Structure 1
Amino acid sequence: MNVFFHLPSETGAQPLQIEVNRLVIAGWTGRDAHAIEHHIGELEAIGVPRPSAVPLFYRVASNQLTQADSVQVVGDGTSGEVEPFLFFHGGEFFVSIASDHTDRPLETHSVALSKQICPKPVARHAWRLAEVLNHWDTLVLRSWIEEDGESRLYQEGTLAALRPPADLLARFSAAGNPPPAEGFAMACGTVGAIGGIRPSASFRMELFDPRLGRSIVHAYRCQALPVIA
């Protein structure tokens, strides 16, 4: 799946194209056991069974990636989660953001299928990982949903809550996976939902860098297709 990014540079946005051929969704990536338990509890509240181990690494078809402003989903029970999005290109890692959009009713039967069935929106801008690695923990993840016609803060937290890239990639390799190569991409986990996980017709997400005073943002709307029995 080809995705296109703009990288900041002194001469303006620099275009970058990558063909993602291996997409991984990392789950349960928190550093704090209590925070992980909180997120597991959020999902248990909507019927999702506890994971067999933490973290877990789910393979998802790369053609599920999209940079569109609108996505189609089946039914009205899906929701997004903002996550750091690492990808490997030209011998180095870059970071952007993606939404691990998930079918919540299906998640009660199979987490892997619930992730596979939904598109994975990704932003159109990225940064070199080397530019933010030294202050990675200060980066802020946020998302907003639409409720009662208003935009409401849905998620907010720093990346200090999640395992850093090197740790996460080491655990990925230790689980028997081949090392990252050209076209590898990973969504790296999320922070808890404020007020609990719930669906929304729109989702807006941000990765904010307070040190360098910049953000990566993306928003999309969901079109719910009818569930035909």
Structure 2
Amino acid sequence: MTTLSLELPDGRTQDVEVRLLLNAGYAGREQDEVQAHIAELAELGVPGPATTPALYPVSPYLAQQVSEVQVQHGRTSGEAEWALVITDGGVLLTVACDHTDRALEVHGVAWSKNASPDVLGRKAWRLDDVRDHLDQITLKAWVGEGDTPDTLIQDSSLEALLTPDYWLDVLTERGLNAPGTVLISGTVAMTGGVNQFARSWKVEMADPVTGHSVDVQYVVEQMAEPIG
């Protein structure tokens, strides 16, 4: 089972054994826009969800803090997200990049979420410390053709997504609000014309009130061709 090690603003480190990993989907706060996005995806062959917002269970070992993601082909990409990490001492908030298999996505979104890791940041904030200004926190992603992500592909804020407290209520209703649960938020819109099938990804969550930021960065490596 994966253990996350998260550095808090006071310098202390919190280790969390991941027991349950969940990926939210279609989780924009404006559900009219979400429905329009579902229609766009349907034209690409991606099946729509039975309900929105959606919530997909993911194998807990896919919660990773890595600098390299290995994939099977060239049609995979990340997604800028935040992550809730529930601990014995409270709820932490960090940044995440949900690396998704776009070729597999047309056969099933849940399948595509289990094909690659959710890469989480190594630093985190206590949710209680930022709850009163969450909508001001920015969420951005960059991609790069080389090892350095240098092209902005996502530029939004937490205001665009359903809140952490919304999801904590959902977890509580289902008996899942317990230490070791990690929930990834769902993502924000990508900039048109930017190649998402890039070699490198960086996601940053920045707090203008405290001046703190947390980020995650990795490169994508394609595996060798299978034999047989």
TM-score by length of 1: 0.91
Residue in structure 2 matched with residue 76 of structure 1 by the alignment? 74
Greater shift in the superposed pair: 106-115 or 195-204: 195-204
Residue in structure 2 matched with residue 27 of structure 1 by the alignment? 25
Of residues 64, 67, 78, the one that matches 2:65 is: 67
Give the deviation of 1:110 after TM superposition. Answer: 1.0
Cα distance between partner residues in 2 of 1:97 and 1:186: 11
Assess, with a 3 A threshold, how the Cα gap between structure 1 residues 85 and 150 changes in structure 2: closer, same or farther: closer
C-alpha contact 1:75 1:226 (8 A) present in aligned 2: no
Cα distance between partner residues in 1 of 2:118 and 2:192: 23
Cα distance between partner residues in 2 of 1:39 and 1:173: 28
2:150 is paired with a residue of what secondary structure?
Answer: strand
Give the deviation of 1:35 after TM superposition. Answer: 2.9
2:106 is aligned with 1:105: no
Residue in structure 2 matched with residue 3 of structure 1 by the alignment? 4
Cα distance between partner residues in 1 of 2:47 and 2:75: 17
Of residues 189, 192, 203, the one that matches 2:189 is: 192
Residue in structure 2 matched with residue 171 of structure 1 by the alignment? 170
Give the deviation of 1:170 after TM superposition. Answer: 2.2
Cα distance between partner residues in 2 of 1:86 and 1:38: 27
Runs of 4+ more than 4 Å apart = 147-150
Greater shift in the superposed pair: 192-201 or 27-36: 192-201
Structure 1 residues 15-164: aligned runs within 5 Å? 15-41=13-39, 43-147=41-145, 151-164=150-163
Percent of aligned pairs with the same amino acid? 34
Mark the runs of 5 or more structure 1 residues left unpaired by the alignment: none
C-alpha contact 1:103 1:117 (8 A) present in aligned 2: yes
C-alpha contact 1:57 1:172 (8 A) present in aligned 2: no
Partner AA of 2:166 in structure 1: D
1:54 is paired with a residue of what secondary structure?
Answer: coil
Mark the runs of 5 or more structure 2 residues left unpaired by the alignment: none
Partner AA of 2:156 in structure 1: G
Cα distance between partner residues in 2 of 1:27 and 1:135: 23
Assess, with a 3 A threshold, how the Cα gap between structure 1 residues 140 and 219 changes in structure 2: closer, same or farther: same
C-alpha contact 1:39 1:192 (8 A) present in aligned 2: no
After superposition, give the CA deviation of every residue in 1:63-122 in whole Å (9 maximum; x if it has no partner). Answer: 012111111111111000011100110241000011111000000001111101111111
